[in-house]
Chains A and B, each alone.
Chain A
Amino acid sequence: MNLLDWVVLLGTMVGIAAYGAWRTRHTDHLDTYLKGSKTTGWFTIGVSVAATQASAITFLSIPGQGFESGIGFVQNYFGLPLALIIVCAVFLPIYRRLGVYTAYEYLGRRFDGKTRLLGAGLFLLQRGLASGVTIYAPAIILSTVLGWRLDLTIIGTGLLVIVYTVTGGSAAVSLTQKWQMAVIFGGMITAGSVVLARLPEDLGFAGAAHLAGALGKLEAVDFSLDPAKRYTLWSGLFGGLFLSLSYFGTDQSQVQRYIGGASLREGRLGLVFNALLKIPMQFCILLLGALVFVFYQFQPAPVFHNRAEWAHHAAGPNGATFRALEEKHAVLHAAKQEQIAAWREARSSHDPAAEAAARAALVAANAATDAVRAEAKQALLAADPRAKIKDSDYVFISFIVAQLPHGIVGLLVAVMIAAALGSKAGELNALGTTTTIDLWRHFRPLAAHDERRNIRVAKWFTAFWGVFAIGFALFAGFAENLIEAINILGSIFYGVVLGLFLVAFFLRKIGGSAVFWGACAAQLLVFALYFTLSISYLWYNLIGCAACMIISAILQTFLPRISRIDADAQTP
């Protein structure tokens, strides 16, 4: 990065954070601090919901997924529009009618204090752990590629987000997220345009898509019924539905984004906006990764995309092995380029037999380069068992740094940081709010009426979670595939939390004790299955939810019925 890149990066990031903190510095009403401005419209709510979900990992890892495995990951989001319809129709009207600050406050009103604490506790545990990952993930990648110090990157981004989130609360989060999303969309559109412009002139988008398709990168929908396959239409539809329902309906970091606003209509339209936007947006990001893959078919491609890790080991005692692998890869890559030329020629000849033969040769050539990449990873592991051998998270950022002009590099790094700040701010805001409302106020009920004290405490808890996330990111090691690590962590807890809410909404005769013990048993069951079965993690959302509902219903038959009046008052 040169001076121009730094000006673009710091100008956008510090500028947006300072603007958000300054505009919301006089937020002194608890409602505004925790729920955001009462005049917030649907567009701001919709952008805020999208920004909270789209972390930096979205823009670092997902193009890498498109590069490595193709665009099939898009199926992960198939349950999302259906889940958002249910949240609009069922969850949101209840939250607004009861005027709650957190989703778990509703559990307390519908069931009892211990069920509210369980819901809030599961959220704090899962989201608290994930908050470390969301700050660590972009920092490790950016520091590796750009040569920044990892600890300073974590502390710098962490402190920046703490300052404006603590200052202005939910209002500052929504305000800054809107501008951060503008930077993100601007940057990603620029990146896509540059990738297309850098492809060979006679290839074009259609030619690039045909090449990516021939090499298996454009299989968006897989109808397979095999439960061991991670991304299929069915796992995305059913597992994804429960994951999204739990995330958008019961995760405070999302609930807080749409629970405020000018009216129920604004919240609903904000969610509808996301239901329409999300799949096309994820598809475009994955397609960008597939296009980067095509780009490297016509350029010298590295054997391993985490170049800093590779260079570190290549300079070691096994350097000869690494150089031999580089040479082998270069030779096979050149052979593949010849196969690509032959395949393109066969396609233009309109001879199906010749095209099929050329395509088979191309697929074989691609498999040969993939085999060398796998060999390279094994060589890294042999040199250092702790080496980070998954390089797909580094594909896009390495491409940006190596191939894009200065200024745009700064803009694209700003995209990653903006996404990190936006999602981090939503998380901290939710963690601080849940700790204040569901824990502190629960144990200090007399303090609930002192509005200034509540805001002060909420600010302290928000800052605490920010410092916790920084500390966790500094001292913990994380799984290599970062976006999957977060999704897996979410899937282990989300199903049971969703089960709590679905029992609350739809099983009117089940009381607090039954659902509390049912949820505890279901969570233990999910842990046991996670460590014994090898099924797609998305299914744990469905299993946890179903187990919570069924065990609660069974337990209720042995426990006294709840008051009919209470049930009637809180169910739709």
Chain B
Amino acid sequence: MKPAPPADDPPGVPGFRTWRGVYWFVFACFVLVVVALTLFSRYFA
């Protein structure tokens, strides 16, 4: 017996229609934070 796949309900976050979009947004924020930290280090070193 194979259960039905879970309904991937919309995230309900303004600007995002799918969870995949939310995950890409989180990933992009992470990359930005790492770049910002690198620049912060370089600037103040």
Interface positions of A (Cβ within 8 A of B): 74, 78, 81-82, 84-85, 88-89, 93, 96-97, 209-210, 212-214, 216, 218-221, 233, 263-265, 268-269, 272, 275-276, 279-280, 283, 565, 568-569
Main secondary structure of the interface of B (DSSP, over half): helix
Q: Are A265 and B11 in contact (CB under 8 A)?
A: yes
A88 to B41, CA, bound (A): 31
Q: What separation, in Å, do the CA atoms of A88 and B6 have in the docked complex?
A: 13
Partner of B41, one of A93, A96, A218: A218
Chain A residue numbers with a CB within 8 Å of B33 are 279-280
Q: Could you tell me if B23 and A89 are in contact, using CB atoms closer than 8 angstroms? A: yes
CB–CB B44/A212 < 8 A: yes
A569 to B2, CA, bound (A): 5
C-alpha spacing A96/B8, complex, angstroms: 12
A-B CB proximity, top 8 nearest: A213-B44, A220-B37, A81-B30, A220-B41, A221-B38, A209-B44, A85-B23, A213-B45
Residues of chain A with a CB closer than 8 A to B44's CB: 209-210, 212-213, 218
Q: What is the minimal beta-carbon distance from A88 to any residue of chain B, in angstroms?
A: 7
Chain A residues positioned under 8 Å from B37 (CB to CB): 74, 220-221, 283
Q: Is B41 a contact of A221 with CB atoms below 8 Å?
A: yes
Cross-chain contact A264 with B45 (CB below 8 angstroms):
no
15 contacts between A and B (CB under 8 A): A81-B26, A85-B26, A85-B27, A88-B23, A89-B23, A96-B6, A97-B6, A212-B44, A213-B44, A216-B45, A218-B40, A220-B38, A221-B34, A268-B11, A276-B26
Most chain B C-beta atoms within 10 Å of own C-beta, residue among A78, A212, A275 = A275
CB-CB under 8 A from B27, the residues of chain A are: 81-82, 85
Given A82-B27, A220-B41, is A272 in contact with B22 using a C-beta cutoff of 8 Å?
yes
CB neighbours of A276 from chain B (8 A): 26, 29
Q: Give the docked Cα–Cα distance between A93 and B19 (Å).
A: 12
**In this complex, what residue of A is CB-closest to B45?**
A213
Q: Which of A233, A272, A276, A569 has the most CB of B within 10 A?
A: A272
> How far, in whole Å, are A84 and B2 apart by their CA atoms in the complex?
27
Closest chain B residue, CB of each to CB of A214: B45
Beyond A268-B11, A268-B22, 18 additional pairs, beta carbon < 8 A: A74-B37, A81-B26, A81-B30, A88-B23, A89-B23, A210-B44, A212-B44, A213-B41, A216-B45, A218-B45, A219-B41, A220-B37, A220-B41, A265-B9, A272-B22, A276-B29, A569-B2, A569-B3
Residue ID in chain B nearest A566 by CB atoms: B1
Q: Which residue of B lies closest to A94 (CB)?
A: B6
Please name the residue on chain A nearest to B35 by beta carbon. A221
A269 to B11, Cβ gap below 8 A? yes
Is B34 in contact with A78, judged by CB distance below 8 angstroms?
Answer: yes
Inter-chain CA distance A74–B23, complex, in Å, is: 22
Please indicate the chain A residues that have their CB under 8 angstroms from the CB of B34 in the complex. Answer: 78, 221, 233
Nearest B residue to A572 via CB reads: B5
Question: Smallest CB-CB separation from A570: which chain B residue?
Answer: B3
Give the contacting residue for A89; candidates B1, B3, B19; CB below 8 A. Answer: B19
B43 to chain A, nearest CB (A): 8
State whether A272 touches B26 (Cβ < 8 A): yes
The residues of B that contact A263 with a CB separation of less than 8 Å are 9
Whether A93 pairs with B6 at a CB distance below 8 angstroms is yes
Q: Which residues of A contact B6 (CB under 8 A)?
A: 93, 96-97, 264
| C-alpha gap A490/B2 in the complex (Å) | 35
Chain A residues lying within 8 Å of B43, measured Cβ to Cβ, are: 213
Tell me which residues across on chain B come within 8 A of A84, comparing CB atoms: 26
Residues of A within 8 A of B3 (CB): 97, 569
Q: Complex: how many Å from CA A268 to CA B11?
A: 9
Minimal beta-carbon separation of B2 from chain A (angstroms): 5
Known contacts A219-B45, A276-B26: A569-B1 contact under CB 8 Å = yes
B12 at the interface (CB under 8 A from A): yes
Q: Which of B27, B29, B40, B43 has the most CB of A within 10 A?
A: B40
Q: Report B20 CB to chain A, min CB distance, Å.
A: 8
A82/B30 contact (C-beta < 8 A), A74-B37, A97-B6 known? yes
* Residue contact B9 to A264, C-beta cutoff 8 Å: yes
Which residues of A lie under 8 Å from residue B29 when comparing CB positions? 81, 276
Q: In the bound complex, how far is the Cα of B42 from the Cα of A475, in angstroms? A: 46
Tell me the bound Cα distance from A85 to B21 in angstroms: 11
Q: Cβ of B1 and Cβ of A565 under 8 Å apart?
A: yes
Q: A210: which B residues are within 8 A, CB to CB?
A: 44
